[in-house]
Amino acid sequence: MFANFLIGLREGLEASLVVTILVAYLVKSGRRDLLPQIWLGIGTAVVVSLGFGALLTFGPQGLTFEAQEAIGGSLSIVAVGLITWMILWMGRTAKNMKADLHHKLDDAIAAGRWAVAVMALLAVGREGLETTLFLWAGAQATGQTVQPLVGALLGLAVAIVLALAVYRGALRLNLRSFFAWTGAFLVVVAAGVLSYGVHDLQEAGILPGLHSLAFDVSAQIPPTSWYGTVLKGVFNFSPATTWLELVVWWAYLLPVGFIFVRAAWFGPSRGRAPQPATPASLEGN
């Protein structure tokens, strides 16, 4: 029961934290009108995941393991792209707090309104397929016992409660702190998502190096412990990490973190127009 609870908690945290910040960010910036798009993204992800899970469990065709991992890994990497876009945007916004914030906010959100929906879709869909496969297996097993399913659902519920707590905490921050802190948090989360996406692709045999471990602290941080679960759920931390995962983690965290921190904390020009030196946003040219 407890083990199944932890699975639900972990998958729930993985799926909900990014969404939480996304929602908080729209609420803080007075764009509640865009919330339906988030719910649409989440709803689509849930429906698609449940449908796929049912299809793969009961339907005539299942996905090969490689395809499952390839989808999971690719979705993670696309999700990181979108989260990065949001983080960098937050970095610039935090710097320009005193300027006509709302105008800029509207601009960016208008451009990214579908990006916002897609981000919600990915944040939930990324873990959704695996979670629903697990839940359907539980549903199939309920003939024997209901407990595994109840355990997993409780875990999901606790994850949602935790995400709500994070949301309330975030709302209490002033706008500048909100952008600075949630952005920094997202940088670390995104690095973990990227690194885990790489791991999925390694398992699928698409990327090499699955067996070259940089470190293995499974003994100190068992993946089945509650703290292992929370670390995995929040930061996608894997106690047995390959070199490629580690390199990718740092290769993402250092530059993105640097750009973000410089823009959000040490921005030179509060109240003035963005400097040309501001790191290029990901829209490209």
Partner 1 sequence: MTRNRASRTATRTAALALGAVVAAPLLAGCVPNDPASSEAGGDGPVTLSVSSTADACDVSAAEAPSGNVVFSVKNDGDEVTEFYLLAEDGLRIVSEVENIGPGLTRDLVVVAKPGSYVTACKPGMVGDGIRADFTVTDSGADTAPTGELADQVDAAAVNYVAYVKDQTEQLLTGTEDFVAAYTDGDDDTARDLYAPVRLHWERIEPVAESFGDLDPSMDLREADLEAGQEWTGWHLLEKDLWAPEPADNGGEKYTPLTTAERADYAERLLSDTQELYDRTHAAEFADTIDAAAIGNGAKGLLDEVATGKVTGEEEIWSHTDLWDFQANVDGAKVGYDGLRDVVLAKDEALAGDLDERFETLQGLLDQYQEGDGFVAYTELTPDQVKELAAAVDALSEPLSQLTAAVVL
Smallest CA-to-CA distance from 85 within 24, 22, 35 is with 22
128 in Cβ contact with 48 (< 8 Å): yes
Which residues contact partner 1 by CB under 8 A?
1, 3-4, 6-7, 56-68, 70-71, 74-75, 78, 81-82, 85, 107-108, 110-112, 114-115, 118, 122, 130, 133-134, 137-138, 140-141, 144-145, 147-148, 151-152, 203, 205-206, 210-211, 218-219, 222-224, 239-240, 281-285
Nearer to partner 1, 177 or 218 (CB): 218
62's contact among Cu ion, partner 1, none, with CB below 5 to 8 A by partner kind, is partner 1
| Least distance (Å) between residue 71 CB and Cu ion | 13
Nearer to partner 1, 7 or 166 (CB): 7
Nearer to partner 1, 77 or 166 (CB): 77
The residue assigned the tokens 């929040």 is 234
269's contact among Cu ion, partner 1, none, with CB below 5 to 8 A by partner kind, is none
Buried b (16+ CB within 10 A) or exposed e, 264-278: beebeeeeeebeeeb
Nearer to Cu ion, 61 or 144 (CB): 61
Q: Give the separation between CA 195 and CA 200, rounded to whole angstroms.
A: 9
51's contact among partner 1, Cu ion, none, with CB below 5 to 8 A by partner kind, is none
| Least distance (Å) between residue 61 CB and Cu ion | 5
Nearer to partner 1, 83 or 191 (CB): 83
271 in Cβ contact with 98 (< 8 Å): yes
Q: Which conformational region is residue 209 in: left (phi greater than 0), alpha (psi within -120 to 50 degrees), or beta?
A: left
Q: Give the separation between CA 9 and CA 226, rounded to whole angstroms.
A: 9
The residue assigned the tokens 């998502």 is 193
Q: Residue 185: what residue type?
A: F
